[in-house]
Structures are given as C-alpha cells and as structure tokens.
Structure 1
C-alpha cells in the first residue's frame, strides 16, 4: 500500500489479521448449519444490539453522510429521527412473531401465508437489496483508500473482499456478531477522533464552524412544507420510517440476529440499544460534514485538487485544458462531497492516526458486508436450495453449501461495487436502490401480517399492481420531454412509501370487495 507510512500500514495489517483470527477462533464451533446461522441462540442481547448498530453504521454513513452534509445540509438526519417508531413496532410485534415461528429465514412464513410465489418474490427482493448494499459499501471503502494509497479501486475491493470472505466463511454468524462488537467501538472512536482533528485544525474553532454553518444553512433539516417532490423533511421522514420498518421487520440481516439471542426480551432490547446508539452517532457524522464544510470555506485553496480530480473523472482522457477548467468551475459541493473526508485524512492527519481512521472505515465496511454475506447465504440455502433444488440435503452438505454461497455473494458484492465506480453520491445511490427493492417486499409482508382475511388471489393482484407502480416511479424519469406528463412527480425516496402502500391498500381493498361480494350473493 504505497503512500502510507509503515506505522499506519502496520496498524491496518494488524487490524485485518485480527479480524481473520476471530474467524479462525470461531471456526472451531462451526460444526453444523445451526451454529453457522444462529450461533445456537446463545449471544447476549447487548452484543446483538452493538452488532445491529455496527451494521447501520456502515461506510455509507462514515463517508456518505459527511459528504451529504458537506454538499447540502442535515436533511438526511431525519432518517435517524424516524427510527424510534419503527423500533417500537418491531420490538412489540416483529420480534415475538419471528421468535415464535422458529424459522431462521424471514421469508418462510410468506409461503405459508400466500404461497411459494410470495416467498420467492421476497427472497429475490432481499438478495437484490443485499447486492446493492454490499456494492455501495465496497465502493465507499475503495473511494477512501484510493485517495490514501493511489491503488485502483478495483484492486482495493478485491483485496478487502478476500479478507472479509475469509473470516465470514470461517466464523459464521457468531464471528460476524463479535467482530461487529469490536468494529462498533473502533468506528465510533474513529469518528470522534476525526471531529477532534477538524476542530483543532480550524481557525476560529467551534464558534467559526457554527457561524459558517448558519450562514450557509448547513444545519437545516429540510423544508417543513407538505412537499413530496423535493427532499423535504416529510419525504425523508416517511422514507426513513418505511426503510427502518423493512430493516427491523423483513431484512434477514436483522431477523437472523433475533434468533441468536438467548430470549425474546434480549432480542427486543437489542433493537433499542441500536437506536439509542445510532441516532447520536449519525448526528456526529452530520456534524463532521458541517465542520469539513467550514474548514474548506476557510481554506478554499485546498479544494482545488479535489475539483480537479472530479473533473478528470468526468471527462475523456483526450479532453482539453479549457474543457477541464469549464467542468471544474461548474462543480458544486454536492458533486465532490464523498471525496472530502478522504482528502482531509490524506492532508491533515498525522502518522499513526491515519492507520486508526482507515481501520475504522474498514470496520464500517466489513461489518455490513460480512453480515450481508452470511444472511444472503442463509436465505439461499433455506429458501432456494433446500426448497427447490435438494430438499433432502444432509447437514454436512448444507454447511458446505453455506460456505460456498457466502463466498459467492461476497464476489457478487465486489462486482456490484466495481459497477458503481463513478456515481455522484454513495448515500443517494444506496437510498434509491434500497427503496426500489424493499418497497414490494414490505408491502406484501404487512398485508400478510395485518389482514388475516387476505388470500393468495388478492395478494397476487396487489403485488403485480405494486410492482408496476414501483417500475413506473423508477423509470418514468427517462421518458422523453413530449411524455413529461407521464413522469413520476414525486421524489425518488417516495418509491418505497408509495410502493408499500399500494400493495397493502390494494390487497385490503380487494379483500373487502370480495367479502362484500360474497355477502350480497347470499
């Protein structure tokens, strides 16, 4: 890793080797599939809570949130404000439901409720969501390390992916959870260290940061007007509530952790511990973004190299100097927000601290990717392989399958990350993709839980209509100008809100209509 001092490199290597050794340690216990996927239900609730917190606090948060705050304001923080209501619903209804079912897969009950098609649909949505999540995380970590090392983003993703795959395959869910406990501490300490370094390098200190932030409206949570076209307070609040409801209620990453807890109460408490930690932690990253904005406002000359780099990425290799300057001068803070944190690390952090911060960013990436790999492998094993390909699979074969599937999904996540190279905002891409894939899955789940009378026929029609609405909201922006009237008028973050409500309300409406029809027939 050229470009890093030996001491920083040593810290990073020690951290990576440590994570792999954790996997080796827990590999001694992984003699069956239940241990690999559920850790035999012996994990304490506080460790699960820290693990869920670490999954939320991914490199999308570590790099994307400061970049978002730098480029705009604190509007995206409203996502965190929505968490308590979703957590209350999850702890009161979802955790007892999954614990009583005894099914390790979050999607088995959909087949029992509506038929095999519902389970397959939810599994496909989940796996696509995981690939989008892992891809965005891989991209975020590569973006940061490229600035430090000069190596290609593709090479960085491959090296990091191999390390993550090794400890995840060896250690199973128990290794994932306990490494995430360590990573939760490392990444939180790293964020506090970054904040201290920015403030200590800032002429005028905290008062100057607040002054610049206020004058640039950096602390705004967005418009409170009932506007669903722009990214208003209400759009992000609704998006956050539905996404977090999906996370706590339908995402295998979290459902699987409920089964690792020693009791239902411990599982419910783990959700609240995550919420209590994540809200102030996410606020910390927005503060970091605003501090970075103030720092570069006071030191505008330092931003020139970032603009130059972004302009080079947007133009072909044979572009003229005039074209380069034109693009460079037209760039806005939102165009290069994701590159601000890596730039500050390269230019202002002393030897030793860079290694610690890189380790924190690595931990932010590794926790989310490893849990996504384990959850995806579990879903593939239970919902696809054992259900359709080989129902009589032996315990030994199933454990081998879980290992192979974990490697496979890790590789697919790397490919997705490579495909994202060049995107404008990590956070925007992740939010949009997760909203698209999660919308139908959440709507179908809520329909099955809330409306006991809804049968397969109504659910099929509601889901088809919901999918059509989601597709229209997603791609209608590509319509030519003469078809402008047919474009989606709402903000892209409203896709999960509208898609979920479409399936849920259409399903309930069809159920009531069928009931009315049956009554009138008698």
Structure 2
C-alpha cells in the first residue's frame, strides 16, 4: 500500500496550478495608459499651478497612493509661503498628510490658527481640522464652545463638523443633517453642511429619504443644490439604488457635466470618485480631457482648457479615474477554486487513510509513541507557527518594522534551556497527558487548575485562528460577503474536525508536514513574484529605517511596545512557557522514542520556525514595496499602515497568477487547519485524561474509548467555533489581538509546571494562588494596561508575578504554617511507590 494517500488528488492539483497560471483574475476597468496619464496630470498640476489648485492636486496624489514628489514640493511651498494667510493652512494640510511622522506638528499649527479670533484664515483652519479628522472640541474646547454659541455661519458649520471627529456631537447642538434640512438656515451654511455630509458618508438609511427629497426640491441657482445632490448620491443605501428617487438624483447630478461653474463640476466628480461605477468612466474621461472646458472670457477654447479653473476640474477628473481604478473588484478564478477543492479533498483523504490504522487511544493520541522525529518536528513547527503567525508577521513587519523578528536571536538559549532542563523531565515520566506531572508532584487541585488554564488557552487560540483566518484572509481573498462569516467558519472547522477525528495524531503530523511545505512555498512564491516585478530582490528591500516604524530602541522597557530587548525577552518567555507546559508541545516530545529524538524534534521546529519567520518578514517587506509601487490595488481609504494585516492576503489575490493564488490561499487554510487539528487532538486528550476518566468510570471502557475520543474532538471543535464569534471585540492590530487573547494563559500555565518541577518546597496552596495571581496580572495588562505596561510584556510580567507569589506563599505555607505536603516529598513518595510496583 502506498504511504502517500490520495496521490491522484495531488497530481491533479499540480496540473491545475500549471494550467491555471496562464489565466487572469480580472479585466481592468482603467487601462494602464489612462492610469499613467491621470497620475502625470496630477503631478503637472501640483508642480505648475498655484495656491488651492496646487493643494487639491497634491491631496489627490496622496489619497490615490501616488505620493511621489508631494513632500518635497510642499516643503518648498512652506519655505516660500508659510506667512501667506489662508494658503498657509493648505500647506500645513498637505504636509500633515504627506509626512505622517510630523502630522501632530502641523495639526497643532492648524489648531493655533483656529484659536486666533482675529485671524482671516480661521474658517480655513476649521475646515481643514474637520477634513484631517481633528476634533476642535477636544483640542480647542473654549474657542469651539464660543463659536458654537454664536450664529450659524461658515465658521460654525466647519467647527461643528470637526467636533464629530472626537468624542461625539456637542450637547444641544444640531447635527449636520439638521442644518441641511432647515430651510431657515442661509444657503451658504446649508451648502457647507451638505459638503460635510458628503465627506462623512454616515447618513443613517432611515434618514436618507429626507436628504434626497431636499436635494430634489432644491431650485436651480441655490448654492446648496449641487452639494445636496452629491451628499444624497454618495450616502444612498444599496436598497434605494434602484428606486426612482435615486435615479432622479443621479440624472440631475450627471447634468452638471456641462455646468459653467468649476465648483459644480468638481463636486460631480468627487461624488463619482466615491460612489461612481464603470459606466461613469466615459464622463470622467471627457472632463479629464477637457472636451467641454469652462470658457474663460477673452480666451479661445484651446487656451481655456489649460486655465487654472479647468486644470482644477481636470485634476479632479484624474482623481475620480484613479479612485475608480482602486475600486476595481478582484476574484479568484475557476482554476484557483479547483486547487482549493482538490487540496481540501486531499486532507480528508489523509484522515481516512490513517483512520484505518488507529487501534487504540495510544495510536490516536501519540501515534504509537515511535513517530519520525523530523516529521514530528515539522508538525510542531506548523502547530506553533499557525495561520495566526502566517498572517500577522507580514503585517507586523509592514506596520512596525523588523524589531519583533530580532527575537529569533534568542533561539540558541531557548534550545538549550528546553532541551536540557525541560525535555528530560517530561521524557522520564512518560505520561499521556502532561498534566499528570502536576498531580504526581502537587496533587489533583493543581492538575485541575492546569487543565482549566490549558483548555481556556486552547479554546481561545482555536477561536482566534478561526476568526482571523476567516475575517482577515478568506473574506479578503475569496471575496465573500461578511454576512457569510459564520457559514465559512463552520465549513473550515468541519473539514478540520473531519480529518482530525478520523486520523488522530498520525493524520495531524502527516498533514502538518505537507502544509509546512505549502506554507513555506507560498512565502517563497510571493518573494519570487515581487522580485520579478522589481527586477531583483535588492530593489524592494528598504535601505533605511522607515519613519512610520517608530524610533529604533535597544533596551528593555515595559512601557514601550517594541525594543530589541523586549522582542528577545518576549520570544524567550513564550518558547519556554509553551514548551514547558503546553500539551501540544509535550505531546510531540512524548511521541518520540527518547530524549535525544525529542531534542531533535524541538531543534527541527526551531530551525524551521527561524527560516519561516525570516521568510515572512521578507514577505512583509516585499508586499509593502509592491503596494507602494502599485497603489491601484488598494481600495479607497486603505493605506499601508491602516490595512497592514490585510495586504498579504490581498497580494495573494491580485499579485499572483491564477492557480498559484489558489495554492497559496490553500496554504493559509492549511496553516489554520494544521493548528486547529493539533488543538482538537491535544484538547480532547486533556479533557479525556484529566476530566472524563477522572469523573466517569464508564468512559474508561476499552471498547468504547476510541469512538468516544473522536466524538469529543467534534465537541471541542463546535465550542471553539462559538468562541470565535466574540474575538472581534478585542482591540488592536492583528498581532496585538493574538498576544492579548491567545497568549493570556501561556505564562500562568507554565507557572504551575515551574513550581511542580523546580521549587522543592512548593505546596498546592501556594502554587494555586501563584497561578491565579499570574492570570490576574495578565488580564490587567492585556485589557486595562495597568501601570502603562505594553501588551508584549503580558507573558514576562505574568510569569514573574506568578512564580514570585507562588514561591512566597509556598514558603509561608510550608515553613510558617507547617504544611508537610511539598513537591519534593511527593516526588520522593511517588518514586518509592514506583519501585515497589516494579
């Protein structure tokens, strides 16, 4: 019988990849030539025009992702015109967006201009603050209250608009929609309120009809009419887009193509830039080309095209074209879907293959105890890395830089400490559940506490894997509507439960080895494709520390998110705690023949993790360079930093050929399923050994045991699926969520093992309260940021506090209160009993 099950499935997968690589994921809406023309025109307008026309072009370049030259141009403008009233506010507005690390500096200048009641650029400052998302109510509360206590005018409207960027609407003040609908308000403030509504895009669906009716009823000649039409068009709910009212609004809006007023044409184009479709491209193109320019008195039509008014319109048309380009939808091709289906079928085939070889619980949980150490090491690597790391490491590199990856420098110390201090102790005991060690050394209460910690950790871990894999990767790559999240989660867990419950640890390890190759292959393919686009590897690797990565720091600082010292400490504690307490790790050590092979297993996992972490770090840099060079693939509003975690999944969809995209998408599914399968296997093992066998004599019946274990894995999967629904409420980027949720119980669990293995006078009471203290401080740091401690210190701080409290209380319990039941005594008694039995 062949050792490689479903070989025909994998051959078919390879053929699909090779054939599909010639296909395409999409047909572009905007041609490459038109895209380049639009970018070039914006650059020309920014360089050659003056004042606010220049500001608009610079902002259009920033918002479209083509930032080249903006910083340099406007630093020069600052040197020349910073004392020029009104225009200086525009200069600060551009620089606040063009130089993110100096945003606060320029924002403060804008606020100071607003604070000056006699300044003639105060209105511009209020408008700019609102556009930049600055709340004048928070930054200049006294001046804001004074303005909002006065009459309704332009300054009032823009100041009110800015307050919505902060803590909320001012008490007893009208909303922007109230101003728009109030016919007693003058036309100019109503126009500006409608302009703000168009920018905010947050009209509730039940209030849209009022706005739309007001837009339709507006008379020609009213200043507010075009902005009411624009706001109604942009804010229209999907359910109204086929209604006659919406059709009337769009018809009236499109007629503004021939308006003799620059502002009306620009507002039409801004509305289309936000909510237009492919059918609006010809109109955008006509205005971009200046086919029907606004005629300038005394100028010919040809000369009018290049006037400042028409160049402002043309620049806005270029922006609308580039925004339409960024709203291009992408989807997996048929070949991609076939790869994914073949892959999942292969996983189920492997589970079935090994299900025929499991004869008892030892086969199911430990693979018979004689599995290949290299295969088990790769499985351990795939388990510890998981889809969480596969998705979070590139995003972490993009947003915060390479500091976190310096943690791999501590791997030699990790290998020594785990290999020579922890593994020998586990291998001598040869237990099925790692938590039997705790019962032998400290009693039943500590084993049950460890069981609770472990199950909490793994259920949260599996729930996070499901949530992040579905919401960060699957929805992005596959293009599913978010309303299908639950259905997709059920399918993902269903396939994993299927092959795990059938095959046990042998199926888990075998699929982990395959999935390790797919995971690494996905990273290598990404690097190869990006290098091909840039001509070489060196072309996309940054040559300097990027400003938005923050300041580079070496030492240890619990109040800093990232320093080299913090990365080393966090990595060391995580590996020490995980390897010394996690059933998923200990289970794989015990699946090998002896201490030497167990060390080899751990070494293989460390080496493989080192290689893949470096690969994923490079993937982050490659993807960052790719989307910097090709910003058209970012949706409107997306930036490198705001959507860092989604860039790798998006690259898989838009950057790789057909078939390859499907294979790498399958790789992400593979990483998720390898971790989920290990979680199912080890969690059901702990429930079986530590709970069911202890409290149910019937469960130990040999002929029912394996079948009951398989049913237990199904139960575990369903519970983890339920927990995944609550993970979305945790704040922070992807890496922060993982540290807060997944690593919450890592150190508390190891505290129990440390006390049971290395503190001779440890008692059950002291250890119990040490574990509780460790959990309490972990929760306090993770969700309340106690003492200002950053999330990366959750594990070091909770480990230190747990060991300190456990050691002190054990000493008091033993030395002061006279409790004779210490770890040392129980170990000695267990050894004597074992000698008598043998």
Structure 2 length-normalised TM: 0.55
Aligned residue number for residue 692 of structure 2: 385
Is residue 798 of structure 2 the alignment partner of residue 499 of structure 1? yes
CA distance in 1, matches of 2:783, 2:669: 34
> Which SS does the other structure have where 2:553 is aligned?
coil
- 1:201-216 mapped onto 2 (5 Å cutoff): 201-202=533-534, 205-211=536-542, 214-216=544-546
Aligned residue number for residue 185 of structure 1: 517
CA distance in 2, matches of 1:494, 1:83: 19
Aligned residue number for residue 429 of structure 2: 101
Aligned residue number for residue 720 of structure 2: 413
Aligned residue number for residue 414 of structure 2: 86
Match of 1:344 among 640, 645, 651: 651
Deviation at 1:442, TM superposition (A): 1.0
CA deviations on 1:25-58 (whole Å, 9 max, x unpaired) are 1001122111110111121111111111111232
Change (3 A) 1:476 1:208: same
Aligned residue number for residue 481 of structure 1: none
Change (3 A) 1:77 1:217: farther
> Which SS does the other structure have where 2:540 is aligned?
helix
Match of 2:489 among 157, 161, 164: 157
Change (3 A) 1:68 1:112: same
Change (3 A) 1:217 1:518: same
> Which SS does the other structure have where 1:229 is aligned?
coil
Match of 1:29 among 357, 380, 388: 357
Instruction: Work out which of the two has the higher radius of gyration on C-alpha atoms and give 1 or 2.
Output: 2
Aligned residue number for residue 771 of structure 2: 463
Match of 1:400 among 674, 689, 707: 707
CA distance in 2, matches of 1:392, 1:191: 45
CA deviations on 1:118-171 (whole Å, 9 max, x unpaired) are 111111111111122212222232222222322233222221211111000000
Deviation at 1:386, TM superposition (A): 0.7
CA distance in 2, matches of 1:70, 1:473: 25
Aligned residue number for residue 112 of structure 1: 440
Deviation at 1:407, TM superposition (A): 0.9
Aligned residue number for residue 83 of structure 2: none
Is residue 673 of structure 2 the alignment partner of residue 366 of structure 1? yes
Aligned residue number for residue 473 of structure 2: 144
Identify the range of structure 1 (272-281 vs 73-82) with the bigger mean alpha-carbon deviation: 73-82
CA distance in 2, matches of 1:28, 1:119: 33
CA deviations on 1:466-502 (whole Å, 9 max, x unpaired) are 344334334434xxxxxxxxx3321122122122122
CA distance in 2, matches of 1:401, 1:306: 51
Match of 2:575 among 237, 241, 244: 244
- Aligned pair count? 484
Which consecutive residues of structure 1, in runs of 5 or more, have no partner in the other structure?
308-331, 478-486
Aligned residue number for residue 480 of structure 1: none
Q: Is residue 751–residue 770 contact of structure 2 (8 Å, CA) maintained in 1?
A: no
Match of 1:166 among 485, 498, 508: 498
CA deviations on 1:231-251 (whole Å, 9 max, x unpaired) are 222222222211111221111
CA deviations on 1:349-396 (whole Å, 9 max, x unpaired) are 111111211121111111111001100000000011111233762123
CA distance in 1, matches of 2:437, 2:541: 51
Q: Relative contact order: is structure 1 or structure 2 higher (C-alpha 8 Å, sep ≥ 6)?
A: 1
Is residue 555 of structure 2 the alignment partner of residue 225 of structure 1? yes
Deviation at 1:454, TM superposition (A): 1.6
Identify the range of structure 1 (510-519 vs 103-112) with the bigger mean alpha-carbon deviation: 510-519
Q: Is residue 436–residue 447 contact of structure 2 (8 Å, CA) maintained in 1?
A: yes
CA distance in 1, matches of 2:389, 2:606: 15
> Which SS does the other structure have where 2:657 is aligned?
coil
Change (3 A) 1:369 1:84: farther
CA deviations on 1:441-482 (whole Å, 9 max, x unpaired) are 1112112211112222332343344344334334434xxxxx
> Which SS does the other structure have where 2:541 is aligned?
helix
CA distance in 2, matches of 1:470, 1:103: 29
Is residue 380 of structure 2 the alignment partner of residue 49 of structure 1? no
Which consecutive residues of structure 2, in runs of 5 or more, have no partner in the other structure?
1-329, 819-838
CA distance in 2, matches of 1:463, 1:281: 33
Change (3 A) 1:80 1:218: farther
Q: Is residue 81–residue 279 contact of structure 1 (8 Å, CA) maintained in 2?
A: no
CA distance in 1, matches of 2:356, 2:403: 46
Change (3 A) 1:281 1:270: same
CA distance in 1, matches of 2:456, 2:817: 39
Change (3 A) 1:177 1:510: same
Deviation at 1:420, TM superposition (A): 2.8
CA distance in 2, matches of 1:146, 1:512: 53
- 1:42-81 mapped onto 2 (5 Å cutoff): 42-81=370-409
Deviation at 1:503, TM superposition (A): 2.1
Q: Is residue 377–residue 406 contact of structure 1 (8 Å, CA) maintained in 2?
A: yes
CA distance in 2, matches of 1:388, 1:83: 41
Change (3 A) 1:29 1:501: same
Aligned residue number for residue 268 of structure 1: 599
Root mean square deviation of aligned Cα: 2.5
Q: Is residue 445–residue 764 contact of structure 2 (8 Å, CA) maintained in 1?
A: no
CA distance in 2, matches of 1:199, 1:219: 23
Identify the range of structure 1 (58-67 vs 131-140) with the bigger mean alpha-carbon deviation: 131-140
Aligned residue number for residue 312 of structure 1: none
Change (3 A) 1:306 1:6: farther
CA distance in 2, matches of 1:417, 1:96: 36
CA deviations on 1:269-294 (whole Å, 9 max, x unpaired) are 01001111111210110111112112
Is residue 733 of structure 2 the alignment partner of residue 425 of structure 1? yes
